[in-house]
Amino acid sequence: MLDKAFETLQSYEFGDDLGALSRIDEAIVATQHHAAGRRDLEARLIGVLKSDATRNGKDFACRKLKVVGTKRSVPLLAAMLTDPNHSHMARYALESMPHAAAGKALLSALPKVTGKLKIGVMGSLGVRQDKESVPALAALLGEDDALIAESAAHALAAIRSADAAKVLASATPTAAVTDASLACAESLLAAGDKTSALAIYRRLAQGEPAKHVKLAATRGLLACAGA
């Protein structure tokens, strides 16, 4: 029955009956504590990505590799990151994989993609809280494309590290950078790093910031003081 499910996946289109593919989900559950079974299942899913399966069939395979994928899946998913038809789902599979290779694949793809694909890759690096990507994201804060620069700021905020906070502090203070700095400070404070958070709040409170920034920074300063 599993063979039949993978055969159906080759021609699967969105809106088709998912009943025939349920065997794949059942196999994922059944192999949870069975290494050999998981390897076989991953190999079958990789085979779908290598085949001439439909786009929707490959999207389905990526969703399942998000669950069962290992380092063996990374090279193929990495190659898909530059493909407009498959980049989104390849990122979806990679961004939650607990393997350093997945983060490296996303970081390596960053200079190879443009527009929405670049924004997507930055988002995935943020989801992974990939500290290794901070220098590359820092370089994109000065991009002429406002969406790229804004996305880089959001990714740095999501990474929530002291290094990311320092990068944001040295960047041109746009609205996106300021909002990202506040988000970064909140995360650092929640993680117990009051020193780094305090430095951000003090900087943002200086001068005549926007009303919402002043309010957020003041609240942050009080929180750092334990008030």
Would you say how long the chain is, in residues?
227
Torsion sign over Cα 33, 37, 40, 44: negative
**Between the CA atoms of 174, 197, 100 and 87, what dihedral angle is there, to the nearest 10 degrees?**
-30
For tokens 């399942």, name the residue. 64
How far apart (Å, rounded) are the C-alpha atoms in residues 59 and 160? 30
pLDDT of residue 42: 97
- What is the average pLDDT across 134-138? 97
Q: What distance in Å separates the CA atoms of residue 145 and residue 162, rounded to the nearest whole number?
A: 26
The Cα–Cα gap between 201 and 160 comes to: 15
Hey, what are 130's tokens?
Answer: 């990939």
Mean pLDDT on 114-141? 96
Structure tokens at 214: 């002043």
pTM: 0.88
In the chain, pLDDT over 90 holds for what percent of residues?
Answer: 82
Given a contact cutoff of 8 angstroms between Cβ atoms, the answer to whether 93 and 65 are in contact is yes
Dist. CA 176–CA 150, nearest whole Å = 6
pLDDT at 108 over 90: yes
State the chain's mean pLDDT as an integer. 93
Backbone angles phi, psi at 206, to 5 degrees: -75, 155
Between CA 176 and CA 149 the distance in angstroms is 8
Give the model's pLDDT for residue 64: 97
Q: Where exactly are the structural domains of the chain?
A: 1-69
User: Which pLDDT tens digit goes with each residue over 5-61?
Assistant: 999 999 999 888 888 899 999 999 999 999 999 999 999 999 999 999 999 999 999
Given this model, what pLDDT does residue 16 score? 87
Q: Where are the alpha helices (DSSP H) in 2-114?
A: 2-9, 22-30, 35-50, 55-68, 74-80, 87-94, 100-109
Residue 227: pLDDT over 70: no
Q: Quick one: what percent of the chain has pLDDT higher than 70?
A: 100
Predicted pLDDT of residue 19:
85
Maximum Cα–Cα distance for the chain, whole Å?
A: 68
In whole angstroms, what is the distance from residue 89 CA to residue 10 CA?
Answer: 17
Measured distance CA(186)–CA(87) in Å, rounded: 31
Q: Which of 224, 160, 164 is nearest to 194 (CA)?
A: 224
